[in-house]
Amino acid sequence: MRAAAEASVTADVEGSSVDDGAAASSTSATPTVTPTFRAFLRGRRAWIVIAAVLVLGALVVLVIQGGVRPPGPALGADNPGPVGSKALVEVLRDHGVTVTDARSFEVAIDLAGQGATVVLFDEQGLLDDDRLTELAGAADRLVVIAPGFGALEAIAPGVRHAGAASGPLDEVACELGAAERAGELSEGQDLLTIDDPAAEAGWQGCFADGDFGYAVAAGEGESGGELVLVAATTVFENGRIAEAGNAALAIGLAGAADDLVWYLPGPGDSDVATAPTMGELTPGWVSPVIVLLIVVVVVAGIWRGRRFGPLVVEQLPVHVPAGETSAGRARLYARSAARVHALDQLRVGALGRIAAMLRLPRSTAVDQVTDAAAQATGRDPSGVRRLLVDDVPSTDRELVDLAGELARLEGEVRRVLGAPASDHHRDDDDPDHRDHRDDPAGRRP
């Protein structure tokens, strides 16, 4: 294909026709180059590397986040996934407990005032101290699952986090009825500690892990209601509730009354007015550093952007041989397998030369040129049109054959009209031809 493309482009640029002998010698001298799959990959390896990095990064994020998270919120009352609590809720409903899945603080506080047990799981820490205190004061029985540091400070001062348990816990160590019926808890529990002032205020720990802490802490709220803190979510999860005494503890805590409020706070329950501003969250050194960076960028732009005077335009004597241009374009056609484009270049050159030999104006339509060429050579007009316009090569061999046919058609028109051959095909012994070939003016700037 390279040979055919080089022959076609050379004929177009230099304005000369290609005969059968030249096409055959070019074909035999230069092997065809058809792009391979390896060459395709090499040309697009940058995009392949970028795509591979993106895919690898997505896989790393999935691994870090533990894969695809099951549908529904953690400990959601209607979430059947491993981290949901639908199993516990359905068991309670089967035993006659009315379970309300509260979606707002107002609903939870209203039902808590009517004597319902409230189970609170504030995973994101959306409730502020005032709302936690209000909820603890309104509920006769409040069960807080996995309380955060702020929640402990607000409703259970003196109770602190103490890390994770070393394994299953079977030392009840308290007089809480639900804990005594459970007897033991499975692995995966977190611990809480109770300091001396809290213990004197009536707080007790259940399921001790030696001297390290307790999985459950129970005490009395400021308004006299019962307050139970469960350090981990394991007891209430669908995937772990059937282990050891988890189910007995969960049912005993949540099903103590006929009405249960299952409350998972949402974004609407947070107090926007008390939320810290961006300035409060930003360290004090950030603003001066940003200002300094802006000043540095402006100074660098002024320094590097200054000009020393007007630009000087200089005419450089650059000469590019037409043959080099033709060869370069031919290699591009060959590497991209652009057979149709290479043949189009041949056809454009042939049509222009045939029109010039037939004394047709440059604005003559292609159909008129093909009809005139057919009439001059005596060929079938449809065959001439297919050769000059319609035929599409599917292989390198077909491209070479069509190039040869174009050269033969042009030669026939020249012989019929008696037009002189172009300088490109003159004998090398012609002194005028030698002068023209060696003349530096033959190069174009």
pLDDT tens for the chain, 445 residues long, are 434 444 443 344 334 333 444 334 333 444 444 556 777 777 778 888 888 888 888 888 777 655 555 567 899 999 999 999 999 999 999 999 999 999 899 999 999 999 999 999 999 888 989 999 999 999 999 999 999 999 999 999 999 999 999 999 999 999 999 999 999 999 999 999 999 999 999 999 999 999 999 999 999 987 788 999 999 999 999 999 999 999 999 999 999 899 999 999 988 887 656 555 676 667 778 888 899 999 999 888 887 776 666 667 777 677 778 788 778 888 888 888 788 888 888 889 899 999 999 999 988 898 999 899 889 888 998 988 989 988 888 888 988 899 899 999 999 999 988 766 554 444 444 444 444 444 444 333 3
Give pLDDT, residue 435.
Answer: 41
CB 336 within 8 A of CB 35: yes
pTM of the full predicted structure?
0.53
The residue with tokens 């107090």 is 271
Which pLDDT value is given to residue 205? 96
Q: 355 to each of 247, 334, 362, 366, 413, how far by Cα in Å? A: 96, 28, 7, 9, 10
How many C-beta atoms surround the C-beta of residue 295 within 10 A? 10
The token pair at 268 is 């609407």
- What angle do the packed helices 339-357 and 396-417 form, to 10 degrees? 0
Residue 302, number of CB atoms within 10 A of its CB: 9
Question: For residue 375, which of 417, 403, 404 has the smallest C-alpha distance?
Answer: 417
CA–CA dist 331, 6 (Å, integer): 7
Pairing of β 259-263 and β 98-102:
parallel
The pLDDT of residue 264: 94
Are 163 and 215 in contact, with CB atoms under 8 Å apart? no
Asked if 360 and 374 count as a contact pair (C-beta separation under 8 A), the reply is no
**Residue 281: predicted pLDDT:** 62
What is the reported pLDDT for 208? 95
For 112, list phi and psi in degrees, rounded to 5: -65, -35
CA distance 411 to 17: 8
The amino acid present at 269, given as its one-letter code, is D
The one-letter amino acid code at 432 reads D
Residue 95 is predicted with a pLDDT of: 93
Strand partners, 359: none
Nearest to 156 by CA among 125, 188, 106, 193: 193
**CB-CB contact of 10 with 323 (8 Å):** yes
Could you tell me how far CA 203 lies from the centroid of its own chain? 52
